[in-house]
Amino acid sequence: MKSFRFLNPASLDEAIALATAPDAGDARFLAGGQDLLTEMQEHLAEPDRVVNLKSVPGLDRIEAGGGRLRVGALATLVRLEREAAVRARWAALSEAAASVASPQIRSCATLGGNLCQRPRCAYYRIEEARCLKKGGTECFAYGGSNKYSAILGGGPSWIVHPSDLAPALVALDAEIVLRGAGGERRLPLEKFYVLPADGDVTKETVLAPGEVVTEVVVPEPPAGARSTYLKFRERESYDFALAAVAASLVLQDGVVRTARICLGGVAPVPWRAPQAEAALLGRRLDAALAKQAAAAALAGAAPLEQNAFKIPLTKTLVERALLALAR
């Protein structure tokens, strides 16, 4: 790891000032460090300054009440996984948190870090491969090893977004709060992520330099709402999603009143499936309807050479998630 200046700000304003000072160089915010340190260990990130957000008080709250759940960016995944209120009312979020990596990583990893983590594509993670994500001219996955790549929203980069929490929070209609030198802005979490074709291909989010994720706000689900997160991994333990689905439904006498579905592991961003949601509305949720919604969710899929398997896999996950919520 390259050496850096390690700074412990006492407030968020000081943290932002330290990261944006004219002499800051390449400054990075450190939360749980479970992604940033892997990048630093492998020389993918070589910051001049590391600004420690753990020294800023008040960024790690988990607060349910007043019709919403507020989770500070520094709340750890192990707390999201175990917090009784989250398990009871925002099940998709606690299930997603429990599915992340290993117990060791969940002890440290934070909400903000999970939402901002960098791609796990092998080409991106190999220091020597100067791929599109690292300022190169080519996405090596496109014509190379693409078993794990995107089947939706791909091009000119075919990474998949690795976050488990992001699809769950999009399905739960969360809002993200960002703070920078220019003040605070709030946006739907869905709008936080950018497709490679729509923005700077070297980034996955709209986060500006010197800007910090401070919290996520999730509305209280209405009566009768249920949510779940289903993740498929190549092995039972400690892996990123080959495909995942987060679904949040309001059912009334078996009939779908509202539906939000978001896919993970299949696109460069958490992939909302509005056609699937529309297919469900106003109809009785049974096996046939779940199948129809799953087909709608994957209708636009465009697999590469090695990842067509993700289509039936993801369809099955969507069906299973919907039927689990109907029970």
Partner 1 sequence: MRPLRLTVNGDTLETAAPAHWTLLEVLRYRLGLTGSKQGCDKGDCGACTVLVDGRPQLACLTLAALAEGHAITTIEGLMPLHVAAGGDGPDPVQGAFDRCGALQCGFCQPGMMLSARALLNRNPCPTRGEIREALSGNLCRCTGYTQIFEAVELAVAESLGVAPAPRAWEEQRMKPAEAQEQARRAAAALAAARERNDGGPGARS
The site for partner 1 (CB under 8 A) is made up of 1-6, 30, 33-34, 37-38, 40-42, 50, 52, 54, 78-79, 81-82, 101-105, 107-108, 236-238
Residue 205 and residue 325: Cα distance in Å, rounded?
31
Give the contacts of 228 (CB within 8 A, at least 6 positions apart).
91, 92, 95, 246, 247, 321, 324, 325
| Sheet of 5-7, strand order | 5-7, 49-52, 27-30
Kindly state the tokens that stand for 213: 């994720």
Report which of 57, 66, 49, 58 is spatially closest to residue 4, judged by C-alpha positions.
Answer: 49
In angstroms, give the least distance from the CB of 39 to partner 1.
9
Nearer to partner 1, 16 or 45 (CB): 45
Q: How far is the CB of 227 from partner 1 (least distance, A)?
A: 19
From the CB of 38, what's the least distance to partner 1, in Å?
5
Q: Least CB distance from residue 256 to partner 1, whole Å?
A: 31
Short-list 110, 239, 109, CA closest to 162: 239
Nearer to partner 1, 2 or 327 (CB): 2
Please say which residue, 228 or 314, places its beta carbon nearer to partner 1: 228
3-state SS class at 10: coil
CB of 11 to partner 1, least distance (A): 18
Question: Among residues 39 and 215, whose Cβ is nearest to partner 1?
Answer: 39
Q: For partner 1, give the closer residue by CB, 31 or 207.
A: 31
Can you tell me the distance from the alpha carbon of 221 to that of 85, in angstroms, rounded to the nearest whole number? Answer: 12
